Amino acid sequence: MRTGTVLSALVAAGLTVGAATAEGQTPNASIQATATVLSALSVAAGNNLVFGNVTPGVNKTIAITDGGAGTFTVTKAASSGVTLSFTLPTNLASGTDLLPIGSWSGAWNTSASTAGATAFTPSPAGTNTSVNAATALTVFVGATVSPPLGQAAGNYAGTVTMSAVYF
Amino acid sequence: MRFQLLVLLSALAAAPSAAAQVSITGIRDLTFGPVIVGIPSSVGPSHPTKSGRFRITAPLSSKVQIRFTLPDALAGPGGAQLPISFGSNDAMAIGSAPGSTPITFNPKATRNPQFQPSTAYDVFIGGTVTPAGNQQPGSYAATITLTITNF
């Protein structure tokens, strides 16, 4: 009986201690909030896309490797990729006269050279570059003009716009 | 009698208390990814890959309170600070029981999830970072803690 009393006291003490521990528990866990701040993107126009003289009835193509290719320069953060999007004309204009233009070609490179450049087709939908360490990209643009036989003589021009956003 | 008391004492010592079975685990970081200087960027709590995520498990009918400890800024290169804020709907909890409905709540307030019928809750958190126009580029991070209080 004496043993029973002692054990009962121990049991009661144990329960009391246990309850106090339960109320005092504050389990926790942590995660990280992370972000990578990138410098602002900038796009600068470089060379105009120049076809020079064209002959009515004869298509003329400027390839991205040609001297007349248009260029843009993108300044970006290292270790990032960008989406290149274009607004492209369907005609060059000389007053009310129009000169059809199309068959756009493009390439981007981390240097100002077409050697080793990555080809793509410029489009409003956009093209992703690779994620790369460069802080500048050069984009080359070519196209084809298609003057019909009756094309009016004159100087024709249109605007090619490129935009870039991080992806 | 002596034998019975010893058995009872052993059983009580071995049985885990309800409180001991409450657990919390950090599952996923809140990841904003690339953000651009001068442009705020938000991640909602329901974002499938970028929202932060914790998992709480507790016995059925447990009464607990959860509380976030939230940073005001993420720390970056050279001691730079990237402000982070949390809106009134930037936290969300959903129970593990079939048919559980997600509940959005203010991460700056405490919340008492009901562990009935679910015995596990996933708690998600989003937020907004606001890089300044002259924010130092680089990687930023801070700690978000979720604490459970039993009562």
Q: So where are chain B's domains?
A: 17-150
Q: What pLDDT, on a 0 to 100 scale, did the predictor assign at position A24?
A: 58
Q: What pLDDT, on a 0 to 100 scale, did the predictor assign at position B14?
A: 38
A149 touching chain B per CB within 8 A: no
pLDDT digits 0-9 by tens, B88-145:
999 999 999 898 999 999 999 999 988 888 899 999 999 999 999 999 999 999 999 9
Q: Distance between alpha carbon B12 and the CA centroid of its chain, in Å?
A: 32
Q: Is residue A159 part of a domain?
A: yes
Greater confidence, B46 or B5?
B46
Q: What is the CATH number of domain B17-150?
A: 2.60.40
> Can you give the CATH number for the domain in which A143 is found?
2.60.40
Q: Is residue A2 part of a domain?
A: no
Q: Is residue A18 part of a domain?
A: no
- The number of domains in chain A is 1
Residue range B35-54: mean pLDDT, rounded:
96
Question: Do the chains contact at B140 and A35, CB–CB below 8 Å?
Answer: yes
pLDDT along chain A (167 residues), means of 10: 38 30 72 93 96 97 97 92 96 98 98 96 96 93 98 98 93
Integer CA distances (angstroms), B21 to B57, B62, B85, B144, in order: 8, 10, 33, 23
Which CB contacts under 8 angstroms, 24+ apart, belong to A42-45?
A42/A74, A42/A75, A43/A72, A43/A73, A43/A74, A43/A75, A43/A162, A43/A163, A43/A164, A44/A72, A44/A73, A44/A75, A45/A71, A45/A72
Give the DSSP H/E element, type plus range, for residue B94: strand B91-95
Alpha-carbon gap, residue B63 to B150, rounded angstroms? 6
Q: Which domain holds residue A120?
A: 42-166
Question: Do the chains contact at A15 and B12, CB–CB below 8 Å?
Answer: yes
Residue range B21-37: mean pLDDT, rounded:
94
Q: Is residue A120 part of a domain?
A: yes
Q: What are phi and psi of A93, to 5 degrees?
A: -120, 145
Q: What pLDDT, on a 0 to 100 scale, did the predictor assign at position A94?
A: 97
B28 touching chain A per CB within 8 A: yes
The minimum CA-CA distance between A130 and chain B, rounded to whole Å, is 15
The complex scores an ipTM of 0.85
Asked if residue B87 lies in contact with residue B128, where contact means CB atoms within 8 angstroms, the answer is yes
Q: Is residue A65 part of a domain?
A: yes
Mutation for testing the B interface, residue in A31, A43, A76, A83 having most B CBs under 10 Å: A31
Q: What pLDDT, on a 0 to 100 scale, did the predictor assign at position A78?
A: 85
Q: What pLDDT, on a 0 to 100 scale, did the predictor assign at position B1?
A: 44
Mutation for testing the A interface, residue in B17, B25, B47 having most A CBs under 10 Å: B17
pLDDT digits 0-9 by tens, A32-64:
999 999 888 899 999 999 999 999 999 999 999
